[in-house]
Amino acid sequence: MFKKVLIANRGEIAVRVIRACKEWGINTVAVHSDVDAESMHVRLADESVCIGSHQPQNSYLNIPSIMSAVDLTGAEAIHPGYGFLSENSKFSEIVSKHGIKFIGPSADIISKMGDKIEAKKIAKKYGLPVIEGSEGEVRSLSEAKSICKEIGYPVLIKAAGGGGGKGMKIVDKESELENLFLTAKTEAKKFFGKDELYIEKYFKNPRHIEVQIMSGKNKTVHLGERDCSVQRRHQKLIEETPSPVLTDSQREDLLNKTVKMVEQINYEGAGTVEFIFENGKFYFLEMNTRVQVEHPVTEVQTGIDIVKEQLWIAFTGQTALKQSDIKPRGHSIECRINAENPALNFQPSPGVINVCHQPSGFRTRVDGSIFQGCKITPYYDSLIAKVICKGRNRTEAIQRTLRSLDEFVLEGITTTIELHKKILNHKKFIDSNFDTNWLSKEKFF
């Protein structure tokens, strides 16, 4: 196994990777910005290197600084976590050229599957149903009008290199197209460095369902699906597995087709294939070539340590998992705890946590990087912790999650904890009668 791994990330995912490395007996290197010097991931790592100021482009997105930290510490491999440089093919390529192992797929795969247009073509080629829309980049407003007329409104304009809801616009009618097309182009350039857009049919009441895969040179296996339909501004808040709306035959069809597609592209590592599900049909959405924020809900459901398996695949090239050994049981739910004020349109809530009591108990897990006295800065993503609970069935999982949220005490900042309680107590959630647009229509505050 690797002797030393550098984690090119921060926050709870850096803590998660450090823990997995320690269980393999691997020494760890944390990199950090100036404002993160006292963070938990820095305290837990065996070594740490300051790589720049609080602006992400000067630190966590600064490839030369990260590579200098590798040279300085003698790390053999880099784990990119999620976000930041995790799906940056240039970073992966540079790491590999320096003789360092990038814990993830090849730069070529990251590039192909990270481009939403190219990924859609690949998915279609290998048998996954895709959403009706443009075949490639939409370069002009006149071309956009033609495509929208052909597939019919409403449509969704998306950034080809994007994610997280940035550069994404819903167009209900032609009179809105020009303004939203130009706005999406501007946002795509700002957030992703290129203004390439594509257009696809918009689904009004979809579920968001994704499949977790682990793949090596020897084989590809799936760890089941996750239902991530509770979202705000196209970003997930609650994930659960299994999906309460799939039949056994729908599930089997989805999982089998996903594994076959991933096998065909010679994928290595952990990955997630995401789908829109509406009226009993699946449509390929995108593939994330990294570990997901919501991976713990699958871990507690299957008993598989996804991050440790990532490390094993990176070191050996093969997965040690067998599909026949993966037997999910019960039901699991994950709530993302964000430092945000849901009553003020999810406005970020930085500050100092002066009281911190995290839940525990039977089949309750908390992944985070917070502690009493820690500072939540305004410079990065607002996710501070995740509560994951498992039950014998969905009803017990909901009750256990509510019990755990009641135990979670954080003072000094505003969080989404109370919102999660309201959602989990809501009849529509209990009945699983919701879609990805539910939160935008429901009044919780």
pLDDT, tens digit, for every residue of 370-400?
999 999 999 999 999 999 999 999 999 999 9
Query: For residue 264, which amino acid is it?
Result: Q
What lies within 8 Å, CB to CB, of 299 at 6+ separation is 305, 306
Task: Look up 10 and say whether it is catalytic.
Answer: no
Mean pLDDT rounded to a whole number for the chain = 96
DSSP-assigned beta bridge partners for residue 282: 277
pLDDT confidence of residue 75? 98
- At the second CATH level, the architecture of 4-103 is 3-Layer(aba) Sandwich (3.40)
What value does the CA radius of gyration of the chain take, rounded to a whole number of Å? 21
Q: pLDDT value at position 289?
A: 98
Question: pLDDT grade, residue 117 (50/70/90)?
Answer: confident
* Residue 412 φ then ψ, to 5°: 115, -20
- What single-letter amino acid sits at 300? V
pLDDT tens digits, 405-443: 999 999 999 999 999 999 999 999 999 999 999 999 998
Strands 409-411 and 347-348: unpaired
Question: What's residue 193's pLDDT?
Answer: 83
**Given a cut of 80, is residue 196 above it in pLDDT?**
yes
CATH number of 207-441, picked from 1.10.10.10, 3.30.460.80, 3.60.150.10, 3.30.470.20: 3.30.470.20
Q: What is the pLDDT of residue 408?
A: 98
Look up residue 266 and give its two tokens.
Answer: 């010679």
d(CA 257, CA 254): 5
Concatenate the DSSP letters of all residues of 351-420 into one string.
EE--EEE---STTEEEEE---TT-EE-SSS--EEEEEEEEESSHHHHHHHHHHHHHH-EEESS--SHHHH
Q: Is the per-residue pLDDT at 162 higher than 80? A: no
User: What pLDDT, on the 0 to 100 scale, is given for residue 163?
Assistant: 67
DSSP string, 271-326: EEEEEEEETTEEEEEEEE-S--TTHHHHHHHH---HHHHHHHHHHHSS----GGG-
Is residue 355 within 8 Å of 409, Cβ to Cβ? yes
Query: What's the pLDDT band for 166 if we cut at 50, 70, 90?
Result: confident
Q: Write the DSSP symbol of residue 100.
A: P
Output 47 or 137, whichever has higher pLDDT. 47
Query: Would you state the pLDDT for residue 353?
Result: 98
- What backbone phi and psi angles, to 5 degrees, belong to 10? -145, 180
- Per-residue burial over 197-233, b = 16 or more CB atoms within 10 Å of its CB, e = otherwise: bbbbbbbeebbbbbbbbbbbeeebbbbbbbbbbbbbe
Q: What is the mean pLDDT of residues 6-19?
A: 98
Q: What is the pLDDT of residues 36-93, one digit of tens each?
A: 999 999 999 999 999 999 999 999 999 999 999 999 999 999 999 999 999 999 999 9
Check residue 119 and give its pLDDT.
Answer: 94
Report the share of the chain in percent with pLDDT over 90.
92
Region 258-278: mean pLDDT is 97
Give the HSE-up count for residue 124: Cα atoms under 13 Å, Cβ half-sphere: 11
d(CA 52, CA 46): 19
CATH of span 132-201 = 3.30.1490.20
pLDDT of residue 63: 98
pLDDT band at 259 (very low <50, low <70, confident <90, very high): very high
pLDDT over threshold 90, residue 165 = no
Q: Any idea what DSSP says for residue 173?
A: S
Annotated active-site residue in 10, 290, 336, 400 = 290
Tokens of 56: 């992400």
Percent helix / strand / coil, the chain, rounded to 5: 35, 25, 35
Report domain extents, the chain. Answer: 4-103, 132-201, 207-441
Q: Residue 164 pLDDT > 80, yes or no?
A: no
Strand partners, 356: 410
φ, ψ (nearest 5 deg) of residue 169: -135, 135
User: Which residues, in sequence order, are CB contacts of 375 under 8 Å at separation 6+?
Assistant: 35, 38, 350, 351, 352, 353
Structural tokens at position 353? 């946590």
* Cα separation of the two ends of the chain: 50
Residues sharing a CB contact under 8 Å with residue 441, sequence separation 6 or more, in sequence order: none
| 211-258 residue pLDDT tens | 999 999 999 999 999 999 999 988 999 999 999 999 999 999 999 999
Q: What is the pLDDT of residue 424?
A: 98
